[in-house]
């Protein structure tokens, strides 16, 4: 043992009270080193994870946030498209009531033209009147079709469609296999490919041999006036 070590030990042995006071004043010197905090399962907290594990956790969080972002973006895009579609429909059909009020006027023009066409009058002044009425009707119909999208459609000869036709007279026939429109009484109208007024028509219905072939008639009233039924 060296001289310095011996002197140090000898000094401590000669002062036991001082050593005891030192122990009381600094209890931490006698306790074991504190261990890092752990949870109940003994797993280290996230801040003590290895860098590779931290990176994997961050990548998983980024992937989840990116998926949520894409979902929200898709929902917003669908909402925007739906709102634009509803807005366009509101614009397209905003004038529907006005156009429906004009349709009976066109009907009156059409009836006047038909009456003049079947009339026996041949006077020059009547011919001029007939041509003028025809011109007005064509001009009004053309303007409503090209500017407003209101189009009149013919139904004679077409298969009967309840969505486009309203049967006001029915006639049986052995020459057909399915209901067919025989005659237009009042024309139907489309507004941008949507039926806004069904055509009032006479329908040919298929008939089995040996059944009664008397035509079935249905009376009707039109808002602008009663339509003429063929004799």
Structural domain boundaries of the chain?
Answer: 96-148, 152-217
**Which residue did the predictor score with more confidence, 194 or 22?**
194
The pLDDT value recorded for residue 65 is 93
Q: What percent of the chain has pLDDT over 70?
A: 66
The pLDDT value recorded for residue 153 is 92
- Using the structure block, give the residue that is written with the tokens 């946030």: 65
**DSSP letter, residue 156:** T
Residue 224 reports pLDDT greater than 50: no
The pLDDT value recorded for residue 196 is 92
Interval 7-43: pLDDT, tens: 445 444 544 444 444 444 444 444 445 455 554 444 4
149 φ/ψ sector (left φ>0, alpha ψ -120 to 50, else beta):
left
Q: Tell me, yes or no, if the pTM score tops 0.75.
A: no
- Return the SS3 of 135: helix
**Which residue did the predictor score with more confidence, 58 or 226?**
58
- Select the highest-mean-pLDDT range: 5-9, 142-146, 224-228: 142-146
Q: Which uninterrupted H or E stretch holds 148? A: helix 124-148
Interval 73-88: pLDDT, tens: 999 999 999 999 999 8
Relative to beta strand 165-173, strand 194-197 is unpaired
For the structural domain made of 152-217, what CATH number should be given?
A: 2.30.22.10
The pLDDT value recorded for residue 53 is 84
CB 165 within 8 A of CB 171: no
Taking CA atoms, 32 is separated from 8, 11, 116, in Å, by 25, 26, 120
Interval 208-222: pLDDT, tens: 765 554 544 444 444
The pLDDT value recorded for residue 122 is 57
CA-CA distance, 133 to 139, in Å (whole number)? 10
The mean pLDDT value of the chain amounts to 75
Interval 149-184: pLDDT, tens: 899 999 998 999 999 999 999 999 888 889 999 999
- Select the highest-mean-pLDDT range: 32-36, 109-113, 181-185, 225-229: 181-185
The pLDDT value recorded for residue 24 is 47
């Amino acid at each position: 043992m060296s001289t310095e070590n011996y002197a140090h030990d000898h000094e401590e042995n000669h002062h036991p009270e001082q050593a005891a006071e030192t122990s009381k004043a600094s209890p931490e010197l006698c306790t074991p080193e504190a261990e890092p905090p752990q949870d109940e399962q003994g797993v280290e907290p996230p801040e003590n994870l290895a860098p590779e594990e931290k990176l994997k956790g961050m990548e998983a969080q980024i992937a989840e946030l990116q998926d949520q972002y894409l979902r929200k973006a898709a929902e917003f895009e669908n909402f925007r498209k739906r709102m634009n579609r509803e807005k366009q429909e509101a614009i397209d059909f905003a004038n529907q009531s006005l156009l429906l009020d004009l349709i009976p006027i066109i009907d009156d023009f059409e009836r006047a033209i038909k009456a003049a066409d079947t009339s026996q009058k041949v006077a020059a002044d009547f011919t001029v009147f007939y041509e003028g009425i025809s011109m007005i009707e064509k001009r009004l119909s053309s303007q409503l079709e090209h500017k407003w999208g209101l189009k009149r459609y013919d139904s004679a000869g077409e298969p009967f469609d309840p969505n486009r036709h309203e049967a006001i007279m029915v006639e049986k026939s052995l020459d057909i296999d399915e209901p067919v429109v025989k005659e237009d009484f009042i024309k139907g109208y489309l507004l941008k490919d949507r039926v806004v007024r069904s055509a009032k028509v006479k329908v040919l219905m298929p008939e089995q041999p040996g059944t009664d072939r008397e035509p079935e008639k249905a009376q009707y009233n039109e808002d602008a006036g009663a339509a003429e039924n063929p004799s």
